[in-house]
Amino acid sequence: MAEFVGEDLTQHGVKFLRGWIPTSVEKIADGSPPRLRVKAKQTDGNEEWEEEFNTIVFAIGRDPCTRDLKLENGGVQLNEKYCTFHPLFLPIT
């Protein structure tokens, strides 16, 4: 699902940076939205990169914090990763 969404967003002009760690985000101009300079470093090397944007989104993978909520007591079924698989609540994993 994440790949499908990523491909669609790329076709609409969204730029994804995989394999890079942001090292700084600097506001360089006011506005709505403001101009932002993002600097990053490769995860498997020493190459550095920077570019300006008006919008940035950070996405990280993480486990859901549902294990101790006892959702099963309310009839919510969870998979082995403690994500629901109910059709109304489909996570992007």
Q: Is the pLDDT of residue 6 over 70?
A: yes
**Tens of pLDDT along 31-87?**
998 999 999 999 888 899 999 999 888 776 666 677 778 877 887 777 777 676 666
Q: What pLDDT is attached to residue 3?
A: 79
Instruction: Looking at the structure, tell me whether residues 46 and 79 fall in a common domain.
Output: no
Instruction: Classify residue 2: in a domain, yes or no.
Output: no
Q: What pLDDT is attached to residue 68?
A: 79
Instruction: Classify residue 11: in a domain, yes or no.
Output: no
Q: Which domain holds residue 79?
A: 63-93
Query: How many whole angstroms from its chain centre is CA 74?
Result: 29
Q: What pLDDT is attached to residue 1?
A: 65
Instruction: Looking at the structure, tell me whether residues 50 and 23 fall in a common domain.
Output: yes
Structure tokens at 78: 């969870």
Structure tokens at 26: 């600097």
Residue 60 neighbours by CB distance under 10 Å: 4
